[in-house]
Amino acid sequence: MAKLTDLQIRNAKPRDKKYKLSGGNGLTLVVMPDGAKYWRLRYRYAGKEKELSLGRPYPDLTLKDAEAEAARMRTLVAAGSDPAEQRVQQKLDRTTRAASTFGVAAEEWFTFRSKAWAQRTQDQVREYLDRDLLPKLKSRPLDAITTRELAAFARGIEDRGAPDVAKKARQGLASVFQFARAHGWTTQDPVRDLRALVLPASAATNYAHLSVDDLPAFLRKLESIDASPLVKGAAMLALWTANRPGVTRTLRWDEVDLEGALWTIEKGREDMKRGYAHLTPLPRQAVTLLREVHRMTGTFDYVFIGRNDPMKPLSDGAVNGLLKRMGYRGKQTAHGFRHLISTALNEQGYESDWVERQLAHGDPDKIRGTYNKAKYLEKRREMMQAWADYLDKVRVGGEVVALRKSA
């Protein structure tokens, strides 16, 4: 059969019905009644006769280019691949990648992973997404996000006094990109080298804390600042108890016994490091505050409810944000209260075991020592009441004297 030429193609006139001109080896040109001319390739794959369009019509796709494309497809068939299936996959990949923004990937990741999370974890991760990750990255294509961009993003969170949030944000970014790569939405991993552009967090950076001598001015500023009473209350409760910020802001009313002045954290409680159980004696000042707060939030689950959603707890950046407004950015953090209290109590000569237990260091089920649980708790109760009384005295400008220890 003679080879198809450009002259034959140009001279091919439309007819009432479409007809074909053979280009050899399965290549044909289909001439439509409206004069349009389309390339087709017939081939056999897995024992079946198949036909595939070469895409653009003539003359957009010239005879020479059509022959080259047909030859490429025949090579694929010879190698055991179906050109039609390959085209479908390529189109799917292009469509997927075009839609693969961080926002799409993050929402798919959250929907998938949240099935295995407790409601509290879902709420917490949702908060990180809505407040920190999505506003900055939602519309960004996954393939366009760089390590330097993410480093600047994480530093921005740290600069607002929320290093723990920055750490969780980096963990969330890593999980989203891992999920996206597994789905073929991207091949990029901008989080992998993120550590190289983030300074290692030091205790001074993460848990900055004042000295005992700085407390009078700090407490007076905290008392006078115009801020949410719930945020101020969470800050004071942290100062009175030395509990971790995450545990304090997510305190639930069913954990509090105001008559018994006791805060009970059950084993496995979220936001509690390693899920340890913990008993926290509440000084009189804390009980008074909680009774006042109960009038505001007592009908909800959480003591310190969220600003925008009372069904959720106070955000994890609220107290640090307050400290920043007070002028203590880089000088005092919510977690730093624990260091301040530990330093003060140890310097006053309290038993280190009492202090360590108050800070919930170590598994209480493995504690062995002189004191049984009840007596041990009472010693801590006396210690923390003395600490709360001390804070009251220095706040109002009373004479600063050493804490009185129980024998």
Under 8 Å between Cβ of 379 and 371: yes
Asked if 20 is an active-site residue, the reply is no
Alpha helix locations (H) across 298-372? 318-325, 336-347, 352-358
Asked if 209 is an active-site residue, the reply is no
Asked if 361 is an active-site residue, the reply is yes
Q: Which of 18, 361, 393, 395 is catalytic?
A: 361
Under 8 Å between Cβ of 212 and 340: yes
Asked if 278 is an active-site residue, the reply is no
Q: Which of 168, 209, 338, 381 is catalytic?
A: 338
Beta strands in 225-354 (DSSP E): 256-257, 262-265, 278-281
User: Which residues on neighbouring strands pair with residue 44, listed in sequence order?
Assistant: 49
Handedness of CA 80, 83, 87, 88 (dihedral sign): negative
Under 8 Å between Cβ of 70 and 64: no
235 by Cβ neighbours in 10 Å (0-12 / 13-18 / 19+) ranks as buried
Give every strand in the sheet of 256-257, ordered side by side. Answer: 256-257, 262-265, 278-281
> Which residues neighbour 288 within 8 Å (Cβ) at sequence distance 6 or greater?
none
How far is 223 from 255, CA to CA, in rounded Å?
Answer: 26
Q: Nearest Cα to 356, choosing from 374, 370, 382, 376? A: 376
Q: Which of 249, 324, 335, 379 is catalytic?
A: 335
265 by Cβ neighbours in 10 Å (0-12 / 13-18 / 19+) ranks as buried
Under 8 Å between Cβ of 107 and 147: no
Task: Give the catalytic positions in this structure.
Answer: 244, 273, 335, 338, 361, 371
